[in-house]
Chain A
Amino acid sequence: MKTASKEISAVSLVEEALEKAHRYQKEYQPFTWINDHAIEQAREIDNRIAKGENVGRLAGVPYALKDNFLSSQGETTASAHILESFTSPVTATAVAKLESEGAIMIGRTNLDAFAHGSSTENSYYGPTKNSKDTECVAGGSSGGSAVAVALDIVEFATGTDTGGSIRQPASFNGVFGLKPTYGAISRYGVVAMASSTDCVGFFTKTAADLNLLMEVCSGQDAKDLTTLPDYYATSPVKSGSKKIGIIKDFDNDAIDSEIRTAMKTEIIALEKAGHEIVLLDMPALKYALAAYYIIVPAEVASNLSRHDGIRYGFRSNSSSSLGELYQNTRNEGFMPENKRRIMIGNFVLSSGFYDAYYLKAAKARTLIIEEYQKAFSMCDFILAPVSPNPAFKLGEKVNDPVSMYLEDVMSVPLNLAGLPGLAIPVGKNAQGLDLGLQLVGPRRSDRALIGFAEELETINQQEKA
């Protein structure tokens, strides 16, 4: 990515990014807030460069921050009414690490409120539009971040991925999207959705940029006791021929024909490049979506119980008692999809239903993990579609929750197992919409996964030429 130096000023990089951000905001709405103070930060970086100081590996690089990361710059809304006017007194570890290397946040990006959704249509501030077709969805939940990178407003953007919220919008907008191993990057200062699957990750224009961002952001954090001990920089990268797993029944009618064609083209290109294709039988994966929509709502119901209008954010002003205040604030402050997930979560956790739903899903999770372990004893990485369809029309699925959930069927399984996944762009369909595929690796294989994505990027460019 382009960094500031004595030749290229941070001010010029930031000015260009801000100009594009304002220009595209009306048509695509990638942002919930644009940071016009970024220019002052850029000046400071330029002054330090002029003095000969080492500013960092991301000197003056404009980036966009998904609006569920806490930072004292701008309000953190999570695109939810209930967090209205909340300016955080603390800053997320990931944000602090990026900015200590000189990165400059030029805006906060739109998401489905509390990251609940697959289209960014569940945002209190209205949807972000797809970067290739404004009648189509951006994907979600990190739709704003994907579009900000796809429109070349910023060099990179942050995202969170609980069930595909980075990989799916990345594939809908033709950019790279990484969901690292669970625990690779600190979640301190990130608005919680489902604590057993939430992951911080990135959107970039090249695979190599993902490596740089992982070097900067990964690592154990005393403020997040679910971070893994540092492993990224020293993890092995195997060179030469790889074994690539393909799930046997991917070629079926439930998946868009052009996505299947993209898979087949990629398989041929991989074989031509000397890699071996291994067919995998993974029958439990078909239950991953049902298990996900039990486990995640259960954790959502618990995590979102803290939003009550008392300590911060929106408070309903039409209540005569404390009980009414909680109920009115929560009812007025949450979006319909937030309410559905909270209520489903309370249902699967409630007495009489816990064993049949929550416990059953937790057992299914074990079977899914075991299936991946078996798969990775036979192959290095798995190649799969990210979603069954390319970007769909705005409004097409927003009133039908189950059909929206079905869009997550191929992205959620790896979240349940804590594995890293990387969406790579593989061209466009006949209507000009972006298509993407994902690579999945064993836990802590992030570095090798990014390395292999770089190789695929080269293979795909050669195929196109």
Chain B
Amino acid sequence: MKVNQDTIKYLASLSNFALTDSEADRLESDLGEIIKYISQLDELDTDGVEPTYQVFEMENVWRPDEISEQDAAPDALLSLTKTTQDHQIKVPQVL
């Protein structure tokens, strides 16, 4: 897998980064090196091996479907944002 500026642009868009040109240049070589390193997994024979996604030993953990008291009140959460209006978070124009 060869990393070029098109790869970096694509990954920056997936990651929601407005990269500068010098950052994009630097990332091209850094990501190229990292991908070269992780590609050594090709050597490992994994035929017929099942994947593992988590190491938690339990199946489902159930809780009653009831509304319980929350640790943070809506007002406390709303106070964390930069700008509010009419008890809602205000952001730049969407459309």
Q: Please give the residue numbers on chain A whose beta carbons come within 8 Å of chain B beta carbons, in ascending order.
A: 86-87, 89-91, 182-183, 196-197, 222, 225-226, 228, 284, 287, 290-291, 293-294, 301, 305, 308-313, 315, 319-322, 324-328, 330-331, 334, 336, 339-340, 342-344, 346-348, 350, 353, 356-357, 359-367, 369, 401-402, 405, 416-418, 443
Contact = CB atoms under 8 A, between A and B. Distances in A.
Q: How large is the interface on B (under 10, 10 to 19, 20 to 34, 35 or more residues)?
A: 35 or more
Given A305-B16, A346-B11, A363-B52, 10 more contacts: A90-B72, A290-B40, A293-B34, A293-B38, A326-B16, A339-B19, A343-B17, A366-B49, A367-B44, A405-B37
Given A86-B80, A89-B71, A342 B44 contact: no
Nearest to B11: A343
A167 B57 CA distance: 24
Interface string B49-78: 111111111100101000000011100110
Nearest to B26: A336
Contacts of B16: 305, 308, 326-327, 330
Contacts of B54: 196
Contact of A366 (B8, B41, B42, B50): B50
B17 A327 contact: yes
Contacts of B35: 344, 347
B26 to A, nearest CB: 8
A183 B56 CA distance: 7
A279 B27 CA distance: 42
A284 B44 contact: yes
Given A311-B77, A312-B81, A364-B41, A301 B15 contact: yes
Nearest to A359: B51
B25 interface: no
Contact of A340 (B34, B49, B81): B34
Residue among B38, B44, B57, B61 having the largest count of chain A Cβ atoms under 10 Å = B38
A116 to B, nearest CB: 13
* Interchain residue pairs A-B with the least CB separation, the first 7: A418-B55, A362-B51, A363-B46, A312-B80, A327-B18, A89-B72, A89-B76
Contacts of B61: 225
Interface of B: 1, 7-8, 10-12, 14-20, 23, 26-27, 30-31, 33-35, 37-44, 46, 49-58, 61, 63, 71-73, 76-77, 80-82, 89, 91-94
Residue among A86, A196, A369 having the largest count of chain B Cβ atoms under 10 Å = A196
A87 B79 CA distance: 10
Nearest to A327: B18
Given A222-B63, A290-B41, A322-B92, A344 B31 contact: yes
A331 B19 contact: yes
B15 A342 contact: yes
24 contacts: A91-B71, A228-B57, A228-B58, A308-B16, A310-B91, A321-B92, A322-B92, A327-B16, A330-B17, A336-B23, A339-B17, A346-B15, A350-B10, A350-B11, A356-B42, A357-B41, A362-B51, A363-B50, A369-B52, A402-B33, A402-B37, A405-B34, A417-B55, A418-B55
A152 B92 CA distance: 49
B55 A182 contact: yes
A325 B81 CA distance: 14
Given A311-B81, A346-B11, A360-B46, A325 B92 contact: yes
